[in-house]
Amino acid sequence: MYNKKTIEDVAVSGKRVLVRCDFNVPLKDGKITSDKRIVEALPTIKYLLAQGAKVILCSHMGKPKGEVNPKYSLAPVAARLTELLGQNVALTADIVGEDAKAKVAALKDGEAVLLENVRFDAREEKNDPEFAKELASLAEVYVNDAFGTAHRAHATTAGVADYLPAVCGYLIQKEIGIMGKALANPERPFVAILGGAKVKDKLNVINNLLTKVDTLIIGGGMAYTFLAAKGYSVGTSLLDEEKIDYCKDMMKKAEEKGVKLLLPIDTTIAASFPDPIDAPIETAVVDSDKIPADKMGLDIGPKTMELYAEAAKNAKTVVWNGPMGVFENPTLAKGTIAVAKALAESDATTIVGGGDSAAACEQLGFADKITHISTGGGASLEFLEGLELPGIACLEDK
């Protein structure tokens, strides 16, 4: 799974190359608020242009549900690419229609064009073979560089690979290289930190990581189901009753495998969930086995922050996925901030799996002190589960 051909393993000079990127950038009033995803695609695009390829870029944006919706047009992306590359990147009016074909046919070596949002066609998410074939007919080589959608088997992430030589770009190469090594052959001690709301979202991840890590740290809303499994009363905290036995099994599995399973020893509690989410809130800290019946745990407490930070600092490899508390609230973000800070200060190889954890590191200014921040939340989670990602499985092996 980790040893895939890259853009450097195929001849691209003078060829039409279809590149699947992740240009699903946040927009406000039609303006891009963060161009991070565009910037991360540049090394692959620049390499192909410098090699004299005719580059056909494609991506989805948002969830237009298979219908043309101007709100989700990639026009702002085409404009930003034009600025960043210092050369014109035209946007096609359709995906596989007359305009796309004409603009692709007009490409000269070292030029790029951007296809309109591929999800404007309902066949994209259905991975329709006819649609994949039409897309493939525009090009001679296929490059997947969209790790953020690699866990989806769509026409542009997997289907076109049936009709074209398929390789990965630098971004996917980096993702599978760093995360693949961490899982297959980590420097030890190997510590995984899992947060987020629900146990059920992380069931398979916990199960898979228990066979690989030296220490597994649990925080966030799902910690309360583990605490309940220890026989503690968790008040009105988030609780996944159906998963209490599963948590007991996991604690037993950890013990049998000699894996340290760390749970919060103290908890930041409040009367209720903040509403709105960033509203000022009155909190207190109690030991994890003393949560009052009418209160809910919303973040890890200071003793737990120290315990978790210590484990991260003594590790050689750390993987972190999911916040420790209600990160959107300044009062309840302290646990997540403490973990982000510990990773930033650690000498270990530190890997942060997309989503909220990545946002936390970026907002706090720690991003440059983390070895690798994944560009895909769902994809990095499935990677940690040990699942094969369709967008990577379809690429040619070296």
Residue 80 bears catalytic tag: no
Long-range Cβ contacts of 359-365 (<8 Å, 24+ apart): 359/327, 360/323, 360/327, 360/333, 360/336, 362/36, 364/337, 364/340
Encoding tokens for residue 380?
């990095």
Q: What is the mean pLDDT of the chain?
A: 95
What average pLDDT does range 305-327 have in this prediction? 95
Contact in structure between 31 and 76 (CB atoms under 8 Å): yes
Residue 14 bears catalytic tag: no
pLDDT, tens digit (0-9, with 9 covering 90-100), for 144-156: 999 999 999 999 9
Q: Which candidate in 52, 62, 110, 378 is catalytic?
A: 378
Give the CATH number of domain 7-173.
3.40.50.1260
pLDDT above 70 (res 1)? no
* pLDDT for the residue 384: 87
What average pLDDT does range 242-263 have in this prediction? 97
Q: Which candidate in 198, 257, 313, 316 is catalytic?
A: 198
pLDDT, tens digit (0-9, with 9 covering 90-100), for 158-171: 999 999 999 999 99
* pLDDT for the residue 11: 97
pLDDT above 80 (res 110)? yes
What average pLDDT does range 313-326 have in this prediction? 95
Percent of the chain with pLDDT over 90: 87
The residues of the chain that CATH labels 3.40.50.1260 are: 7-173, 186-385
Check: CATH 3.50.50.60 for 186-385?
no
Q: Which candidate in 301, 354, 355, 376 is catalytic?
A: 355
| 3-class secondary structure, 361 | helix
Residue 46 bears catalytic tag: no
Q: Which candidate in 16, 37, 152, 334 is catalytic?
A: 37
Residue 219 bears catalytic tag: no
* pLDDT for the residue 273: 95
